Amino acid sequence: MTKVVTTSRDPVCGMDIVVAQSTLFSTHRGIVYHFCSAQCLERFNDIPELYTGSQRIADIRPIRKRRKLRLAEGSESEIRRACQRVGDMMGVSKAATENGCLLVEYDLRQTILSQIEAVASAEGLKFNEGFHGIRRRLWKYLEAGELENAAHPSSGACCNRPPVKLR
């Protein structure tokens, strides 16, 4: 006898989720979506339009980002642990330290700077404030705008949309 396992595709990361075992889900316009992690669920709930619609689910294209975050504090072991935790996040392709900075590469569709900061802070890392703090806030603001534009490409706000660079 063949057992039929119903799976559903996590619209954020593309992973197949076994519906019967799923504990993380969200309903958008009458459709139930299942998620692999709280991180993916949070991304979806922030901006469901980015991940819904048949063409979006079929065509998951990454929006690559690369940031250098200056650290103010953190012991060797905290930095190592934070790097590992950030590296394990969905959508993060690289997390490394270099000269007191946390270098991170990620797909903006799957995670955003504020989620990365939260994970690193939970491991005891503190980031530089001052000018670097202002810059990080600007990045977060720009990320929100970029996702908004990606979710609503026909809204007419395309003239200030930066080109997506693949690095």
Reduced to 3 states (helix: H, G, I; strand: E, B; else coil), residue 12 is coil
β-pair partners for 91: none
Q: φ, ψ for residue 60 (rounded to 5)?
A: -90, 110
In the complex with Zn ion, the residue whose CB is nearer, 2 or 27, is 27
Given candidates 7, 9, 22, 36, which one binds Zn ion under the rule CB under 5 A?
36
Give the C-alpha distances (Å, rounded to integers) separating 101 from 74, 116, 125, 134. Answer: 11, 14, 11, 16
What mask of x and - would describe binding to Zn ion in positions 67 to 106, judged by CB under 5 A? ----------------------------------------
Candidates 40, 82, 89, 102: give the one binding Zn ion (CB under 5 A).
Answer: 40
Contact 56, 47 (CB under 8 A): no
User: Is 10 a binder of Zn ion (CB under 5 A)?
Assistant: yes
Q: Which stretch binds Zn ion (CB under 5 A): 40-48, 79-87, 101-109, 120-128?
A: 40-48
d(CA 117, CA 67): 11
Shortest Å, Cβ 13 to Zn ion: 3
Contact positions toward Zn ion, by CB under 5 A?
Answer: 10, 12-13, 36, 40
